[in-house]
Amino acid sequence: MKNPFDPGYFSETELQSVGFRAIGKNVRISKACTIIGLPNIEIGNNVRIDAYCSLIAAGAGILHIGSFIHIGGYSLLSAGEGITMQDFSGLSQGVLIYSRSDDYSGKHLAGPMIPAKYTGVTGGPVTLKRHVMIGAGSVVLPNVTIEEGTAVGALSLVARSLDGWGVYSGCPARKLMDRSKDLLKLETEMLRELEANGGTLQE
């Protein structure tokens, strides 16, 4: 009997046929995800997106997800102005990334059911560069770039761009320490193994 509590993942054939802008190999997306704007979504190779994630790419923004990426369950990527996750970046559970934000000052009306002329929505693209990791429950606001190699601790608020190879945490996120670059050696080793094994990694 199939486990009724496990929604499972879409097959590669199903993912290739539904209308993504681009999609690579070894991509696993839970059947419990909500995905809007398929023609604006690009996904690379070796990607897993877990249950109850929402990927929203309605409008002009492109959602670009690179290769070797994991997006933990209950995360939201709201890509109206564009979101890019470069290779080896990742999100833990419940991470919220916004590329647009309402004005809550009281000078405008707010909400998706209000005509644009009455709102004060602002926005800008969000970019997570290579090897950026975002901890569980964190929020990333519009017009932010997190440079290569930076890690953001759980329950943090990223409201401005962050420099590379640091460990940040807090609300707002502040740098705590430098992050090791040893992982770059492991990346090189893994990619060499991948090439030697014809595109397959050994556990």
Res 203 pLDDT > 70: no
pLDDT at residue 58, as a whole number:
87
- Write the class of the CATH domain 12-196: mainly beta
Average pLDDT over residues 31-43: 97
What are the boundaries of each domain within the chain? 12-196
Q: If you average pLDDT over every residue of the chain, what do you get?
A: 96
Residue among 65, 58, 102 at smallest CA distance from 85 = 65
pLDDT at residue 121, as a whole number:
94
pLDDT at residue 154, as a whole number:
98
pLDDT at residue 200, as a whole number:
75
Nearest 10 degrees: Cα torsion 166, 159, 84, 69: 50
Res 59 pLDDT > 90: no
Over residues 68-108, the pLDDT tens digits come to 999 999 999 999 999 999 999 999 999 999 999 999 999 99
Provide the token pair at 57.
């790419």
Q: Which phi-psi region, left, alpha or beta, contains residue 159 (left: φ > 0; alpha: ψ -120 to 50)?
A: alpha
Res 120 pLDDT > 70: yes
Average pLDDT over residues 145-165: 98
Distance CA 158, CA 77 (A): 14
